[in-house]
Chain A
Amino acid sequence: MVFGNTGNKSASGVCFTRDPATGENQLYGEYLINAQGEDVVAGIRTPKNIATLKNTMPVIYNELESTCRSIEKHYRDMQDIEFTIENEKLYILQTRTGKRTATSAIKIAVDMVKENMIKKEDAVLRIDPNQLEQLLFPTIDPKYPTNTIAKGLPASPGAATGKAVFSSKKAILAKERGEKVILIRSETSPEDVAGMASAQGILTARGGMTSHAAVVARGMGKCCIVGCSKISVFEDAGVFIAGDINVHEGDTITLNGTTGEVILGEAKLTRQGISGDFKTILEWADTIRNLGVEANADTPNDAKTALDFGAEGIGLCRTEHMFFSKERLTYVRQMILATTEDEINTALERLLEFQRKDFYGLFEVMGKKPVTIRLLDPPLHEFLPRGKEDIEKISKEMHVSTERLKDTIQRLHESNPMLGHRGCRLGITHPAIYDMQVRAIIEAACELAKDWEGGGSGRNGTEHKGSTLNTTTKDYKYPNIEIMVPLVADVKELIITKKRIIKTAKKVMEEKNTTVPYKIGTMIEVPRAALTADEIAKEAEFFSFGTNDLTQMGFGLSRDDAGKFLPSYIKQGILESDPFQTLDQKGIGELVKIAVTKGRTTRKDLVIGICGEHGGEPKSIEFCHKLRLNYVSCSPYRIPIARLAAAHAALKERIILHSQTSQSSQTLP
């Protein structure tokens, strides 16, 4: 062995060939004079920065640097090296591939391509898609200490600091005052969406990684911690208790959505966007992948974010999200509570205005890229108030007796809403809602087509800098509309709904004296639809797998209740992972496979995508690639992950094909 402890001409140290935090191409490490073995990492003596070795032992430093270079060149990757200096002679004691942050991984990969050390494909493969999350959300600067008071499930990564509020209303009011808040709830419901949108981050005491709060927060790209069972939330009193600490409304807290830590007070945050090397890697990934990447987006703002992240379309616009803002919710409720045709029509008329404006905005932003609009999906009772206080408040606001409100709630109540009166079932029994939505879509498209044709640059005459709306280069006349019918289980449901859509669309186009093209397709989210996809494909021009519902129904798992036993199932090895996070390829995947095969038997050019949460999860994306889906759709903030994961899927397939052909050619006589 060699000795780093013979005196002041000896030393022991550890170094990375490039900076593992930033990726800078310079030695990064530490050493101790007159030391041995683990001394440097043991933390007993404070080691010195490797840069100072340049002064203390310049010759050795140069030798170390050139040795590190040649080791790195040999392994074609950044190395983590142990060295010892014995009486001014350098020895290398170990080398291994160095662990690094996402930022560092990307810079190193891009630099190594520029240095002709690796190929673009290698660079793309070296970045773990999951690791990109680190880059997409503001994160807590680890250089500063924090006061952690509880830990929950890290549902949506990133970090957020703000004052504690315990109701969506307070969150909205605070935002109007320009305050930053963290919304804290025992759990969230669809009514909290506006409050969540107003908050910097969301903390819930209950719910799992795919609970409402988690899904919505990820969609918004907001930091969120769920299932923080160590805290007790008292919404009415405006306080939550974590151990012996009471956090009152107005107290500042910080959430670390990457680790699930709830921190008292403020923490230092940092953030990065898509630029430089990150952009380069994603562009390389785009040249490799076969799968399209679209976004789940409901507003023009979401759509812009999605485009910034590289979305090639909107794979899912959830129209019900357009109904949750306070003003609109009132009209939805008026429609539900209406007793006469007139009342219904008045409410629908108002909703039509809103929706038309929404769609116009979406189409305008997306230009010729496809916009897939899912007609109303949730059951109507989701729009009604819950709890005595809320009911009284709403009855006052709407000038409706509490009895009538309660009667309606009672009448619409369902034991199992997930399997209840929703999706196309609602469209078939209450066709006026879908009629209104289709009218809004086609009216918006007709208006936009006219505006585009008139050489105008949008309704307000505004021109987005550098956007696809630039009329001089525009090579399209109409928005690229896809109308999607949810919850179809039998082709007859689609036939009836489609007939009505066509009829309404035709009527609108006649009124507007304009023709706009559109497609009609369906969600495949009921197992029966997957099994009868050959029949459904006769009517549907496209399929989009709603794998959240397909998993719920196909697996017989309630997404909101599975949190109670799933962890135990995973621990006992019954399941490898949460099937709501990673698609269950064996079971639910088989349903997808059947639907793809059957669907394409009927209609060869059937466009098929996936718009569930799985659309942004790398393993599920690989599966979608193998099944030759056309695209995946995910929340805007997961788009970079999906672009990279789709490239990985394509590269892995190439590698397997290559090894198979080279093997078979070897065995040839």
Chain B
Amino acid sequence: MKNILGSKGANLSEMTNQGIPVPPGFIISTQACIEYYTNKTFPKGLADEIKLNLDTLENTANKRLGSENPLLLSVRSGAPVSMPGMMDTVLNLGLNDDTVKALADATGNERLAYDCYRRFLDMFADVVLGIGHKNFETILWTT
């Protein structure tokens, strides 16, 4: 299990089966990752599978990614072996200049919406684009 789902994914699945309250989600397997690293391109059909599972997720949550009632995703990485500090996470994926307003409206909580948005920008920039987290931290603490 761990070899395919990573230890984080395997444990989350196992806890879900045990009836532990784990937020719904899906896991992209290590096989897909290996294939990507081998062929430098996403495996065939991966995009469709993600779309299909995202649909299920959206139906469960009764929210849609990028809509006026936006679904936000936590994208987390894992591996079969424990590598503390090596695993990146991007939270609040699904926010942009429009959906942040929608989130504020939907939740009636503007602070929450913008707190999530600034966190997303920070993490996305740091993890995906390689712009250091430090830069955001400095601005946050000087404003």
Judged by a CB distance under 8 angstroms, whether B12 is at the interface is: yes
Interface flags for A5-28 (1: CB within 8 Å of B; 0: not) read 111000000000000000000000
Q: How many A-B pairs fall under 8 Å by CB?
A: 58
Judged by a CB distance under 8 angstroms, whether A70 is at the interface is: yes
Stretch of A89-97, A590-598, A605-613 that contacts chain B: A89-97
**Which residue of chain A has the shortest Cβ distance to B7 in the bound complex?**
A96
Judged by a CB distance under 8 angstroms, whether B72 is at the interface is: yes
Stretch of B16-24, B35-43, B48-56 that contacts chain A: B16-24
Interface flags for B1-25 (1: CB within 8 Å of A; 0: not) read 0000001100110110010111100
**Which residue of chain A has the shortest Cβ distance to B21 in the bound complex?**
A91
Task: Kindly state the separation between the CA atoms of A62 and B7 in the bound complex, as whole angstroms.
Answer: 27
Q: How many Å from the CB of A1 to the closest CB on chain B? A: 4
B82 near A96 with CB under 8 A, answer yes
Residue in A3, A5, A93 whose beta carbon sits within 8 Å of that of B22 in the complex: A93
B72 near A1 with CB under 8 A, answer yes
Interface flags for B55-69 (1: CB within 8 Å of A; 0: not) read 000000000000000
Q: How many Å from the CB of B17 to the closest CB on chain A? A: 10
Interface flags for A37-68 (1: CB within 8 Å of B; 0: not) read 11000000000000000000000000000010
A70 near B18 with CB under 8 A, answer yes
Task: Kindly state the separation between the CA atoms of A92 and B119 in the bound complex, as whole angstroms.
Answer: 21
Residue in A1, A7, A70, A71 whose beta carbon sits within 8 Å of that of B109 in the complex: A7
**Which residue of chain A has the shortest Cβ distance to B94 in the bound complex?**
A1
Q: How many Å from the CB of A17 to the closest CB on chain B? A: 13
**Are A67 and B21 CB-contacts (below 8 A) given A1-B72, A36-B91, A37-B119?**
yes
A67 near B107 with CB under 8 A, answer no
Q: Which of B105-126 contact A (CB under 8 A)?
A: 107, 109, 111-112, 115-116, 119
**Are A94 and B8 CB-contacts (below 8 A) given A7-B109, A74-B14?**
yes
Q: How many Å from the CB of A607 to the closest CB on chain B? A: 42
A94 near B12 with CB under 8 A, answer yes
Judged by a CB distance under 8 angstroms, whether A149 is at the interface is: no
Contacts of A36 in B (CB 8 A): 91, 115-116, 119
Judged by a CB distance under 8 angstroms, whether A242 is at the interface is: no
Judged by a CB distance under 8 angstroms, whether A2 is at the interface is: yes
Interface flags for B79-102 (1: CB within 8 Å of A; 0: not) read 000100000010110000000000
Contacts of A94 in B (CB 8 A): 8, 11-12
Task: Kindly state the separation between the CA atoms of A96 and B119 in the bound complex, as whole angstroms.
Answer: 25
Central interface residue in A1, A71, A92, A95, by most chain B CB within 10 Å:
A1
B7 near A91 with CB under 8 A, answer no
Judged by a CB distance under 8 angstroms, whether B73 is at the interface is: yes
Judged by a CB distance under 8 angstroms, whether B31 is at the interface is: no
A71 near B119 with CB under 8 A, answer no
A95 near B23 with CB under 8 A, answer no
**Are A1 and B21 CB-contacts (below 8 A) given A95-B15, A96-B11?**
no
A2 near B11 with CB under 8 A, answer no
Task: Kindly state the separation between the CA atoms of A3 and B61 in the bound complex, as whole angstroms.
Answer: 14
Contacts of A95 in B (CB 8 A): 11, 15
Q: How many Å from the CB of B38 to the closest CB on chain A? A: 26
Contacts of B115 in A (CB 8 A): 5, 36
B119 near A90 with CB under 8 A, answer no
Central interface residue in B15, B18, B23, by most chain A CB within 10 Å:
B15
**Are A93 and B23 CB-contacts (below 8 A) given A1-B73, A70-B18, A71-B15?**
yes
**Are A6 and B21 CB-contacts (below 8 A) given A1-B72, A1-B91, A37-B91?**
no
Task: Kindly state the separation between the CA atoms of A6 and B115 in the bound complex, as whole angstroms.
Answer: 9
Residue in A3, A70, A74 whose beta carbon sits within 8 Å of that of B116 in the complex: A3
Contacts of B18 in A (CB 8 A): 70-71, 74
B112 near A67 with CB under 8 A, answer no
Q: How many Å from the CB of B142 to the closest CB on chain A? A: 14
Interface flags for A74-103 (1: CB within 8 Å of B; 0: not) read 100000000000000111111110000000
Q: How many Å from the CB of A89 to the closest CB on chain B? A: 8
Q: Which of A335-361 contact B (CB under 8 A)?
A: none
Central interface residue in A3, A36, A90, A91, by most chain B CB within 10 Å:
A3
Contacts of A89 in B (CB 8 A): 21
Residue in B15, B92, B112 whose beta carbon sits within 8 Å of that of A7 in the complex: B112
Contacts of B21 in A (CB 8 A): 67, 89-92
Task: Kindly state the separation between the CA atoms of A38 and B91 in the bound complex, as whole angstroms.
Answer: 10
A71 near B20 with CB under 8 A, answer yes
Q: What 5 new A-B contacts, CB under 8 Å, besides A1-B91, A2-B23, A94-B11?
A: A1-B73, A7-B109, A36-B115, A67-B21, A95-B15
27 CB contacts below 8 A, A to B, read: A1-B74, A1-B91, A1-B92, A3-B112, A3-B116, A5-B116, A6-B109, A7-B109, A7-B111, A36-B91, A36-B119, A37-B89, A37-B91, A37-B119, A71-B20, A74-B15, A74-B18, A91-B21, A91-B22, A92-B15, A92-B21, A92-B22, A93-B12, A94-B12, A96-B7, A96-B8, A96-B11
Nearest 4 interchain pairs by C-beta: A1-B74, A2-B23, A95-B11, A6-B112
